[in-house]
Amino acid sequence: KQEVTQIPAALSVPEGENLVLNCSFTDSAIYNLQWFRQDPGKGLTSLLLIQSSQREQTSGRLNASLDKSSGRSTLYIAASQPGDSATYLCAADGSSNTGKLIFGQGTTLQVKP
Amino acid sequence: NAGVMQNPRHLVRRRGQEARLRCSPMKGHSHVYWYRQLPEEGLKFMVYLQKENIIDESGMPKERFSAEFPKEGPSILRIQQVVRGDSAAYFCASSPGQGAADTQYFGPGTRLTVL
């Protein structure tokens, strides 16, 4: 049974700092891993999707890596901005290739001006 | 291309009433997923549907909950005889295809409050 864990639960950094969010999963037989952003009271915005055959994906200031063998993914945010403040969620598929996502509890990020 | 639409955005029900949550997927998407986010908890998968078919309902509570995705119209998540523990945010997501290759696009959610 797939379980996804995110550390830390909360993070506060000054503006401009580079930071890394961590995600670990118990079943390495995943098809993909997705990172999402959730703003308070809002829905989820997809940030990056990494297929199992890929090692990383990049979009602007965001870079996500995937290491299936160790059961880990990281989301790197460069030059953080106050607008990056949100909860970041990682989700692994449920190993059934149906697209069913198993979510971590999220990391709530605060970037202080 | 409008995103995933959910309505209502907020729904208040008294214990014992029925709640109907609607989800219109993005244009061209035929795969719909429902997730629930309980207070202070992460998102949990509930059900995966294609047009007129339930593919995976392993996350659905055994009683009172049902979902459908008819040939025409939105997907419906129905909760009968609601209880206070049903209070949560319910999110719908859609994708153009099945499984790993396709990003899921989420709607804004329906926040259900049971009094």
Query: Which of B58, B106, B113 is the best mutation test for A, with the most CBs of A within 10 A?
Result: B106
Q: Collect all residues of chain B within an 8 Å Cβ-Cβ radius of residue A91.
A: 43
- Residue B64 token pair: 């009172």
C-alpha–C-alpha distance, residues B51 and B70, integer Å: 6
User: Pairing state of beta strands B5-7 and B75-79?
Assistant: unpaired
CB A96 within 8 A of CB B100: no
CB B46 within 8 A of CB B111: no
Residue-by-residue DSSP string for B74-104: -EEEEE-S--GGG-EEEEEEEESSSGGGS--
C-alpha separations of A47 from A23, A62, A86, B67, B86 in Å = 15, 8, 12, 28, 29
- Residue B98 token pair: 């099945």
Q: Which residue of B has its CA nearest to A39?
A: B108
Q: What are phi and psi of A31, to 5 degrees?
A: -95, -35
pLDDT tens, A86-102? 999 999 986 566 778 99
C-alpha–C-alpha distance, residues B74 and B82, integer Å: 21
pLDDT tens, A8-58? 999 999 999 999 999 999 988 888 899 999 998 888 999 999 988 899 999
CB A18 within 8 A of CB A74: no
B25 touches chain A (CB under 8 A): no
Q: Which residue of B has its CA nearest to A30?
A: B100
Q: Collect all residues of chain A within an 8 Å Cβ-Cβ radius of residue B26.
A: none
Query: pLDDT tens, position by position, for chain B (115 residues)?
Result: 579 999 999 999 999 999 999 999 999 898 999 999 988 788 999 999 998 899 899 999 999 999 999 999 999 999 999 999 999 999 999 988 765 567 889 999 999 999 9
